[in-house]
Amino acid sequence: MARLKFSPKFVATFAWFYGWSSVKRGPGWVLSYMAWPLALLFMIYMISRGSLVKYAILGGVISTVTSNALSALGDTAFMRLEIKLQDLLVAANVSPIEYLVGIGLGNLLYSFPGLLVFLALLVVFRVLTTPLEWATLIITLLFLAVGGAGLAFLGGSRLRHVRNSWGLASFLSIFLTMIPPIYYPYTVLPRPALYALMVSPATPAAVFLQQLMAGDPPSLALLGIFIAENVLYAMLGLWLGRWED
């Protein structure tokens, strides 16, 4: 029954502990995770002479949340192997779903300072204009945070050494956020390549939001793929992640 238990109070407390307190203790890390998306934004702006800047801003929002969610792989391994926090939570009858959702929401809080910068750019460049588009973006980021946390927990709970976690987290972050059409139009990719890149949860999110940005009719099938994929990644973390040793 512990695996099915869900306490909103614990989730909120753990999200604050894992996310917001990390920002206060190490604000330098905020600049670190913002550096790459902002550098790409500048490069894309210069190379495309501004024609792709809206794609780069939208990509920065998606990449910030997805990358931080995947970086939790190193954190989950550290908390399990080094400080034994996971053992403490197991003994306190905390369920893995509470842990996973707390990590996902905690990463959203951790991403919040960087998100504010990109959200301001979204407003300045009028990338998204209607309340429906903004609501879609917020829901998309919530799904990305939890789906990415599922992948991070799955990987971090299975590693035997912390030293392997940071490299794996960096590889997954680059592979799942740089190659997919997050910073560039998805229309430049051939269909087979686009379908193959759907393995990244950021791909259907980027395509769907790019359709909204361009004023094209959004694909409901694509929205279904995005939701199902992130739910699947979260469930894989719960099913295959190691909770009780």
Model confidence over 163-191: pLDDT tens digits? 878 788 888 888 888 899 999 999 999 99
Q: Average pLDDT in the 66-77 region?
A: 90
- Write down the residue that tokens 């502990």 correspond to: 17
Task: State how far the Cα of 126 lies from the Cα of 148, in Å rounded to an integer.
Answer: 28
Which pLDDT score, from 0 to 100, does residue 237 have? 92
Residue 79 contacts residue 14 (beta carbons within 8 Å)? no
Which pLDDT score, from 0 to 100, does residue 3 have? 57
How far CA 244 is from CA of 92, 94, 153, 159, in Å, comes to 12, 11, 13, 14
Model confidence over 2-22: pLDDT tens digits? 456 788 999 999 999 998 887
Burial class for 192, CB neighbours closer than 10 Å (0-12, 13-18, 19+): exposed
Task: State how far the Cα of 11 lies from the Cα of 94, in Å rounded to an integer.
Answer: 10
Reported as type and span, the H/E element at residue 213 is helix 202-214
Which pLDDT score, from 0 to 100, does residue 4 have? 63
Nearest to 143 by CA among 63, 57, 75, 65: 65
Q: What percentage of residues in the chain have a pLDDT greater than 70? A: 98
Which pLDDT score, from 0 to 100, does residue 1 have? 42
- Write down the residue that tokens 């206060």 correspond to: 24
The first and second tokens of residue 13, run together, are 């407390």
